[in-house]
Amino acid sequence: MNKLLNLRIGWSLVLYILADIFCVGMGMGVPFFCILLGLPLGWMITQRIMLTETDLRATLRKSLVYAAATSAITLGLMAVLWGPAARMLFDPAADLANFGMPLLLFEPTASFIGWLVLMIFISPFLQFLMTLFGVYLTGCGFPIIQLKKRE
């Protein structure tokens, strides 16, 4: 485990990108597993930062930056994957009803727009939140609670 925590930042980033692509593939383009990857990712980020940082504020700040960077990678991956499908909105001959996404809004065009927004923007944000939840569960939240009790 120490080898994994002591990897250089570039290698860690490459491993994360490969894991993110694998999770997208497991979900067949739906980033459900990428969202779930956020929990162990938050743990790993915090453990890695706590090896060098002793200040809680700096640990939380770096955790936030790393969580935002990883969700930005997922955002870019989802934009590359689902972005070309947005051209179907401007094609009058496109059959949006049979595209394969659920018609939650009972109108194919509205459902298609909602699906693209969900896949490209909301899912990486949910991964960001799950990563922050993993950071909090790792132990960064407990010193904050203890500091508030002392005041």
Q: What is the DSSP string of 98-113?
A: GSSS--TTSSHHHHHH
Q: Check pLDDT > 90 for residue 107.
A: no
Provide, rounded to the nearest whole percent, the portion of the chain with pLDDT above 70. 91
Range of the domain at 46: 2-150
82 pLDDT exceeds 70?
Answer: yes
pTM equals: 0.84
> What local confidence, expressed as pLDDT, does residue 137 receive?
87
pLDDT of residue 41: 92
Looking at the structure of the chain, the number of domains it has is 1
Residue 144 has pLDDT above 90, yes or no: no
